[in-house]
Amino acid sequence: MMEEKSHRLKVLRVITMMVGGAMMVVGLVADQIGLSTPGSFGKGQILAVSAGLGLLLIGLLGQRVATLYRGAAVLMLNVLVLLVCLELGAHFIFRIHDLLSGSEGARVSAGPQVPDQRAELSYYISQDWSVEYWRAFNQLETHYQPYVVWRRRPFESTTININQDGIRWTPGSNCSAKSYKVFAFGGSTMWGTGSPDWGTIAAYLQAGLEALRDEPVCVVNFGDTAYVSTQSLIELLIQLQSENVPDLVIFYDGVNDVHAAYQSGQAGVHQNLSQIAAKFEGSEAQKRYSLVEWLKASSAFSLLKRIVTRLKVEVPEASPKLTTYQTMGIDTDSLADSVAQTYLSNYKIVEALAQEYGFKYYFFWQPVISIGEKSLTKEEQNMRFRMDPALVSLFDAVYRDIELAALEYENLYYVAHVLDEQDSLIWIDEYHVTPVGNQLIASEMLDVIKNQLAR
């Protein structure tokens, strides 16, 4: 009886191995035999190969499979319990920290905070508002917005305030039916990254225009993180559709149009194109990306990162190959020309809208740390050094095109050199400046507007 049972088990194991092997072969050659789309390795093939491999292992290991399965299950359960305990513990630590630091309440929370390195710059160390600003900045969230793709969520703090429409508050703005209405468009540089509400370009424009006009002034800051000029144009169209017509429109662009092209190798697209497209398409690559991002967003990971930062421990990280227009084999000058032409096309559209709706408009092409003759401080030199040479080359090419175009387009102003005479720290990264820098840029804009009014 025992021998007969042993023989049946051996036969069963052989059959299991044969079935497993056959499933693996079918999965591997499915393209050649017409069971799958050529040139791809689909989910069905993956399942067939995986199931075949499982059956093959069962046939090879026999009764030992049950023992190995129980051991693996116990190990995985222990690991899962440990991870859950770590996550709960880290979350509890952050909750206690938030309660003690007073960060609970009306403010929107985006999860555990990761220190922003810009907060350690010498400029911010000397400002009494900077700790609160960067704490609030770290809590900001974005959400989907029709047509423009994303916008900030509502937020309240002593340094950053965003209304229900995702618009950052401009101190002093007096918005009524009789007000002189100004729409300010741009990316995070117009929004005011690195500056409290009172230190944005929009805030300085508000104060300057109030001094120029004998009527209430309402400056609306439509800037948002990473916006390219096309997104700003779409936002203007949305406002005009709703019969919210301005008296004056200001576009402040440059770095985002270039950076989006640097990422994707295309002109006229928004930033992070591949990641956002992958979310919509539900690709397998994005699912893996989302898992990694979920792990990075966990409380345990944030706590570990904060501990490493506090201990000043150097943790070597693998440097993934960066995908840019250059790695795609795209020519710098041709891409730069496309970026400039897209921007100038947006200018022409706004020009036509201004004639139709009766508003004035100005386009300002903004400074970037790699362009111009500013004497860089040691901190600014480090920011400049971090820039990818391929990105610097694209900036150089696009900025040359726009500087030439500004000679032909009446309301296009190339202000990339507005910070050249400054010796102190103005840049806080490659693109953003301190409130002092914002005031200088707004002053340049106001000078242009004054001259136009005088004519």
Give the pLDDT confidence score for residue 279 in this predicted structure.
77
Max CA distance (Å), the chain: 110
Find the DSSP H helices in 197-269.
201-212, 229-241, 255-264
313 falls in which pLDDT band (50, 70, 90)?
very low
CA nearest 140: which of 173, 116, 171, 172? 116
108 falls in which pLDDT band (50, 70, 90)?
very low
CATH 2.40.50.140 for domain 142-290+322-454, yes or no, is no
Q: pTM for this one? A: 0.73
Weakest mean pLDDT among 20-29, 124-133, 371-380: 20-29
Average of pLDDT values for 213-238?
A: 97
Q: Cα 175 vs. chain centroid, distance in angstroms?
A: 31
Structure tokens at 449: 């507007």
Q: Is 103 helix (H, G, I), strand (E, B) or coil?
A: coil
Give the pLDDT confidence score for residue 37 in this predicted structure.
60
Instruction: Give 371: exposed, middle or buried? Use CB within 10 Å, 0-12, 13-18, 19+.
Output: buried
Average of pLDDT values for 426-446?
A: 98
Q: Is 300 helix (H, G, I), strand (E, B) or coil?
A: helix
Instruction: Give 393: exposed, middle or buried? Use CB within 10 Å, 0-12, 13-18, 19+.
Output: middle
Chain segment 3-21, per-residue pLDDT in tens: 666 667 677 667 767 776 7
Give the pLDDT confidence score for residue 295 in this predicted structure.
66
Q: What is the Cα–Cα distance from 429 to 452, expressed in whole angstroms?
A: 33
Q: Is the pLDDT reported for residue 285 higher than 70?
A: no
Give the pLDDT confidence score for residue 306 in this predicted structure.
67
Helices then strands, each counted (H, E), the chain: 16, 7
Q: What is the Cα–Cα distance from 261 to 91, expressed in whole angstroms?
A: 38
Q: Answer yes or no: are the C-beta atoms of 20 and 52 closer than 8 Å.
A: yes
Q: Answer yes or no: are the C-beta atoms of 379 and 263 closer than 8 Å.
A: no
Strand-strand pairing, 149-152 and 142-145: antiparallel
What length does the chain have?
455
Q: What is the Cα–Cα distance from 63 to 70, expressed in whole angstroms?
A: 12
Give the residue extent of every domain in the chain: 2-62, 142-290+322-454
Chain segment 31-68, per-residue pLDDT in tens: 666 666 665 556 666 777 777 677 667 767 666 666 76
Give the pLDDT confidence score for residue 303 in this predicted structure.
67
Q: What is the Cα–Cα distance from 283 to 171, expressed in whole angstroms?
A: 44
Q: What is the Cα–Cα distance from 47 to 27, expressed in whole angstroms?
A: 8
Q: Which residues contact 93 (CB under 8 A, 6 or more apart)?
A: 299, 303
Q: Is the pLDDT reported for residue 452 higher than 90?
A: no
Q: Which residues of 271-293 are buried (b: 16+ CB within 10 A; e: fewer)?
A: bbeeebebeeeeeeebeeeeeee
Q: Which residues of 195-234 are buried (b: 16+ CB within 10 A; e: fewer)?
A: bbbbbbbbbbbbbbbbeeeeeebbbbbbbbbbbbbbbbbb
Q: Is the pLDDT reported for residue 337 higher than 80?
A: yes
Kindly tell me the sign of the dihedral angle through the C-alpha atoms of 321, 322, 325, 331: negative
Chain segment 154-208, per-residue pLDDT in tens: 999 999 999 999 999 999 999 999 999 999 999 999 999 999 999 999 999 999 9
CA nearest 201: which of 215, 216, 214, 182? 182
Kindly tell me the sign of the dihedral angle through the C-alpha atoms of 444, 450, 452, 455: negative
Give the pLDDT confidence score for residue 352 in this predicted structure.
98
CA nearest 254: which of 373, 410, 397, 424? 397
For every residue of 16-68, DSSP letters joined together read HHHHHHHHHHHHHTTTTTTSS-TT---HHHHHHHHHHHHHHHHHHHTTHHHHH
